[in-house]
Structure 1
Amino acid sequence: MKTFASLVLALACVPAWAAAPTSDESADVAVDALYDTVAALDAAMFDAFNRCSTPEQLRRHASYFAPDVEFYHDTGGVTWSREAMLANTREHACGHFSRELVPGTLRVYPIHGFGAIEQGTHRFCQTSTGRCDGVADFTIVWRRLEGRWQVTRVLSYGHLASL
């Protein structure tokens, strides 16, 4: 009993700041939470993209993008709106190929007061053959506005055939 009382007394003397997380630890938790949020958004957005040959999935995919989204594609050019981007997606992607995130490549960076930057590498798999023979890097800018996340800019570049 005396040992227990000594332990309680010793713990009572520990300053409150010793047990509280540091600002670095809090920042790490916030970055981890942001990473998890953006990774989940990416997975959901591309789940819809991969099934966009159905109108409801194309609409679901579209819902992730701001109306004035800018999409820069090194081989396809630039689109300046969600509608133009969706027209390209409908014509060139839906039913033709799917997108997979290359494991271990996703990186997420906070943008103070705005949202996040997502970077990574993805590969593209042909629907007809199942072959994943294309690869590219991407950067996506996400804006969080009134609790809702939307893509405002996309860069898809370095398109190559997979080795």
Structure 2
Amino acid sequence: MKTTLLALALSVAALPALAADPLTEQIAATDLAAFDAFNHCKDPAQLARHATFFAPDVEFYHDNGGVTWNRDAMLANTAKYVCGNFRRELVAGSLKVFPVKDFGAIAQGTHRFCQFASGKCEGMADFTVIWQLKDGQWQMTRVMSYGHRSVAQN
């Protein structure tokens, strides 16, 4: 009996996740698009595309880098410290999305960072993003990236 239950538990764990709710699907797709542009931001057109996912008055809180109070400052930091240096990946299964009535959503998850030069994915952090749906477009209004650590610490 224990063997049968274990086999059932293992087979259920191997099944693909049930379809996410529409809000989670929207946020996941928008996150993917925003960070596809981020990951290719060495190209100025991709950096400009990345900018469209942020409200002009976005607040970005980074435990190691400090706070930026608007999109222009945040993008200047992205251009200086990120573009051409590393890419961001969402850790599979980590994204959780919560609706915010008459505004948008809160997304939480974990992301890892992979260096272009070495190909190694050695850094990771947790994140929380406040998304606003305005005029049919999702934009990040508040972003927190925190708990930066090496993958080896997990």
TM-score between the two structures when normalised by the length of structure 1:
0.81
TM-fit CA distance, 1:146: 1.6
For the aligned residue pairs, the C-alpha RMSD in angstroms reads 1.1
* Structure 2 residues without counterparts, runs of 5 or longer: 1-18
Aligned mates of 2:136, 2:94 — CA distance in 1: 26
Aligned counterpart, 1:111: 100
Aligned mates of 2:132, 2:59 — CA distance in 1: 13
Aligned mates of 2:86, 2:142 — CA distance in 1: 22
Q: Choose which of 37, 41, 57 in structure 2 pairs with 1:68.
A: 57
Aligned counterpart, 2:150: 161
- Is 1:53 paired with 2:53? no
Instruction: Give the secondary structure class of the aligned counterpart of 2:119.
Output: coil
Between structure 1 and structure 2, the one with the greater Rg is 1
Aligned mates of 2:145, 2:68 — CA distance in 1: 12
TM-fit CA distance, 1:82: 0.2
How many residues are treated as equivalent by the alignment? Answer: 134
- Is 1:152 paired with 2:141? yes
TM-fit CA distance, 1:145: 1.1
* Structure 1 residues without counterparts, runs of 5 or longer: 1-28
Aligned counterpart, 2:130: 141
Alignment of 1:5-154 (within 5 A): 32-154=21-143
Aligned mates of 2:137, 2:144 — CA distance in 1: 21
TM-fit CA distance, 1:130: 0.5
Runs of 4 or more above 3 Å deviation = none
Q: Which amino acid aligns with 1:33?
A: P
